[in-house]
Amino acid sequence: MTFEPQPRPEFALPPRSAKPRRRGITSMIDFGPDSLGWTGGEDGIRNILEVAADYIDYAKIYAMNALLMPEAVVKRAARLYRDAGVTPFAGGILFEYAWQRGQIEALVGLLGRLDLPGLEISENYVTLTSDERHSLIERFQKSRLSVVYEFGRKNPEQPMSVSYLGEIVNAVAQHGIHHVTVEQCEMDLLARDSPDALAALAVQPWFERVVIEADPYRFPEQHVRLLRDFGSEANLANITPGQILRLEGFRRGIGRAVNYSLLSGNASHPAGSAM
């Protein structure tokens, strides 16, 4: 089933960047059947794509779901995303599992069977040398897999270095990887312990190539704060199916959480908070 972009009517919302885009990216996380949005099965995926395919750039198959779910189900899901112009990819935890077990070739074979065109390389619980990182990217690209790189640890012990993040962004760009996702826990620690560094992040010349992971369980407060801090065209990841349409509304100034700034012109506080 193919989803065609709809023509823009005369009476419409103000435009924002259209797909394929490099700013204002929304990367959805597909948890499978879940209270945060029923995806995983064909009907759930088809429903969200019928409503919001234009607002979803990527769909991450959560953690180990590529192994937990029947291969045929994941394969059909991947096809639905691709037909709708959404790039699906396997999450980094799957990569880390394969790396720890020395089964990278088996992982490549699995992704081929699933018709998944992309894979996230992450270092949440493993540590790669620079040479290993570059060799792995080249290995996956050789198999025609699109590589998403995620920066950061699940349990960081100190705030990340903005300059080191910049080095990683520029290093993977040499392989044609335009965006680097920053692990949610790294952003949380930076915001808590080093707010000046968080402000410095937004003015880096490479910042438009950063995708920030949001916390699905702190929606909408954290998501709105990220848009205030980094702009309505900030690149955001870990957006659940049930949050896609509301996030797109926030980007455009729609919703109490942004004080309906489309009308009020002021998104600095939620509606009613000044009462």
Q: What's 26-264's CATH class? A: alpha beta
Burial group, residue 83, by CB count within 10 angstroms (0-12, 13-18, 19+): middle
Residue 221, pLDDT score: 96
Two structure tokens written together for 253: 């100034």
Average pLDDT by consecutive 10-residue portion of the chain (275 residues)?
66 91 96 72 89 97 95 95 97 98 98 97 97 98 97 96 96 96 96 90 96 96 96 97 96 96 93 74
- Which three-class secondary structure state does DSSP give residue 88? strand
> Which tokens go with 82?
């691709």
Contact 175, 138 (CB under 8 A): yes
Beta strands in 19-116 (DSSP E): 26-30, 58-61, 87-90
The pTM for the full model equals 0.93
**pLDDT score for 275:** 52
Directed axis angle between helix 104-114 and helix 71-83, to 10°? Answer: 60
Which contacts (CB < 8 Å, 24+ apart) does range 69-72 have?
Answer: 69/32, 69/40, 71/113, 71/114
Residue 5 pLDDT? 62
Cα–Cα dist 174/163, whole Å: 17
Q: What is the DSSP letter of 207?
A: G
